[in-house]
Amino acid sequence: MIRNNLFSTFFFIGIIFISIIFLPALFLPQRAVLYGGKLMGYWTIFCLKFFLSTKIIIKGYENIIDNEKFFIASSHQSMFETFYLQTIFNSPVFILKKELLLIPIFGWYLKKIGSIAIKRNKVSRDNLDFFDNISKAVSNSKRPLIIFPQGTRVLPDERPPFKKGASKIYEKLQIACQPIAINSGNVWPKKGIKKHNQIITISILKPISAGLSKDEFIKILENNIYTELNSIN
């Protein structure tokens, strides 16, 4: 319990501190704010290792897509992947619920780094423009888009079907997908106490090339990620 409290306290103090010192970056080019995001990722790693004695293993570096546009589809069990994946990839563009943009300071950062917002379970003009917005984001930037096809954080043993939005994005973008399986919920579950002396494994899986039907794509994506999660849990 003491380790859990120390981790939570120092982690959030650090994130708040980084947010404050990078406030002036909101008036600078976007790159300056993106450095702040990477710093939060490294702070996350430090807190996990120092307070919870977490070992972090990365598998599949050789599978990382290079020299072409792609988007990332990752499993989602905790806040870990939101911060950590910024240290591996080139500051991914996040898709998130629109309400997060309304949070003072935090929402300002999300807007500045080019996050794409969507209103969940609602039909709106913004949502109708959603796929045009992600197409523009991918076309005008070298940063990959990142999505969490489970739709929200899930428990380590949960295997919900992937959301159809992931297959629609694949169909719209017509670019390769980089699947990633992360078992972070074994250390940092969305509910309950964080665990110490555990291993977080980040498995970077073989890319799924463009050109499949959206139904075939989502079937392969879900199977590959869940098969890997079953092997690393």
The string of DSSP letters for 42-94 reads HHHHHHHHHHH--EEEEE-GGG---SS-EEEEE--SSSHHHHHHHHHTT-PEE
**pLDDT at 84 (0 to 100):** 93
**pLDDT at 140 (0 to 100):** 79
**pLDDT at 150 (0 to 100):** 92
**pLDDT at 117 (0 to 100):** 78
**pLDDT at 29 (0 to 100):** 85
Give the contacts of 183 (CB within 8 A, at least 6 positions apart): 77, 156, 200, 201, 229, 232, 233
What whole-number distance in Å separates Cα of residue 208 and Cα of residue 229? 17
H-state helical runs in the chain: 2-21, 30-52, 80-88, 106-112, 125-128, 130-139, 164-173, 214-232
What whole-number distance in Å separates Cα of residue 126 and Cα of residue 119? 8
**pLDDT at 122 (0 to 100):** 52
How many Cα atoms within 13 Å fall on the side-chain side of residue 6?
Answer: 13
Q: Is the pTM of this model over 0.85?
A: yes
Region of residue 112 (left: phi > 0; alpha: psi -120 to 50; beta: else):
alpha
First to last CA, the chain: 23
**pLDDT at 123 (0 to 100):** 43
CB neighbour burial string for 146-178, b if at least 16 within 10 angstroms, e if fewer: bbbbbeebbebeeeeebbebbbebbbebebbbb
What does the pLDDT profile of the chain (233 residues) look like in tens digits?
788 899 999 999 999 999 899 888 888 888 888 888 899 999 999 999 999 999 999 999 999 998 889 999 999 999 999 899 999 998 888 887 778 788 877 788 888 888 887 765 554 445 557 777 788 777 777 889 999 999 889 999 999 999 988 898 899 889 999 999 999 999 998 888 899 999 999 999 999 999 999 999 999 999 999 999 999 97
Q: Looking at residue 148, what DSSP letter applies?
A: -
CB 45 within 8 A of CB 87: yes
